[in-house]
Amino acid sequence: MDKLLEDFLIYVDTSNSGSEHTKESYYRDIHRFMEYLNSEGVTDVKDTDRYVVMGYVSHLRTSQFNGKTLSSRSIARNLSSLRSFFKYLTMMKITDSNPFASVSISVPKNRLPDYLFEDEVDTLLKCFDLNDDLGYRNRALFETMYGCGLRVSEAADLKIEDIDFADRVIRVVGKGSKARIVPFYQIISDLLEKYIRNIRARYVSDDCPYVFVNRNGKKLTTRGIEYLLDKTVRDNGLPFKLHPHTLRHSFATHLLDAGVDLRVVQELLGHSNLSTTQIYTHITTEHLRDAYDKAFNENNAD
């Protein structure tokens, strides 16, 4: 079964140009299913029928992974990965049908993304010790992620050649290998220049193209970035929950709060559809309503 997974990932890489993050998700989701099959004594994927599928869905709903139960969205992503995998197996005539083709679960819609207020972003960024090499790297990393609205995978994949310090823009390769140009402000420019010249150069060899590296001179992974942010929150006792994507949500929300046109925000985020960007207008509307209610409640109190 491991060979089938390996062949599938090669197929994804060659035919769909899937991002590294997408392939990591496929591997994790499908490998988890294969472990379940082994635990149930199923040794051939061809023996996956609707009873196995229903048992696996129940397993995803009731089990804990890394100490946590999976959300509906995570379960839906797992099932989507398996639909793609079995679609490939059917196409290759390894299986006769796709047992996950008609399986789905309900996922809450229109959930507003979490974001930080501007003073909370400042609080986070001030946690990093600029006199420490890795503290400086982390400040440069998370300042860039916030100030450019980067996905965690885009930050991990950012290369030296993607940065244009003269025009203060970076070239970002996002989902589906779609490239976009994003400007960055002067503080980011200063942080990146010093980090690349004085700190990164001490850790990395000349043949590593990536901007953000670990203490061994290797590319920081998406998991590594998530760990660094989580550790920063825990070590500093920050009073808010944080995920790398929260910085991207904050970037979009703050731009709209400042009156930036929705289509400009769409371009900066790399969204294919304007409807994806429009969810942030709900956040800013709620923000305005809260400010309005607070102002009038205080006036009425007087």
Q: What is the CATH number of the domain that holds 86?
A: 1.10.150
Indicate the pairing of strand 163-164 with strand 68-69: unpaired
Choose, from 32, 137, 200, 248, the residue flagged as catalytic: 248
Instruction: Examine the domain organization and report whether 128 and 85 are in the same domain.
Output: no
Catalytic site includes residue 151: yes
Residue 138 and residue 81 in one domain: no
Among the options 171, 175, 218, 219, which is catalytic? 175
**Do residue 73 and residue 180 come from a single domain?**
no
Same domain, 48 and 152: no
By residue range, what is the domain housing residue 50?
2-91
Q: Which among 31, 59, 245, 287 is annotated as catalytic?
A: 245
Q: Does 127 lie in the same domain as 85?
A: no
Catalytic residue list contains 254: no
- Please indicate, yes or no, whether residues 79 and 144 belong to a single structural domain of this protein: no
Give the percent of the chain with pLDDT over 70: 86
Q: What is the pLDDT of residues 31-40, one digit of tens each?
A: 999 999 999 9
Question: Is 26 noted as a catalytic residue in this protein?
Answer: no
50 and 167 share a domain? no
Task: Output the pLDDT for position 110.
Answer: 47
Which is catalytic among the residues 151, 200, 249, 254? 151
The band of 17, judged by pLDDT with boundaries at 50, 70 and 90, is: very low
- The reply to whether 183 falls in a domain is yes
Q: How many domains is the chain partitioned into structurally?
A: 2
Domain boundary among 91, 107, 135: 91
What DSSP string describes 82-148? HHHHHHHHHHTTSSSS-TTTT-------SPPPP---HHHHHHHHTTS-TTSHHHHHHHHHHHHHHHH
Residue 110 in any domain: the answer is: no
Are 41 and 167 in a shared domain? no
**21 catalytic, yes or no?**
no
Q: What is the mean pLDDT of residues 182-187?
A: 94
pLDDT value at 270 more than 90: no
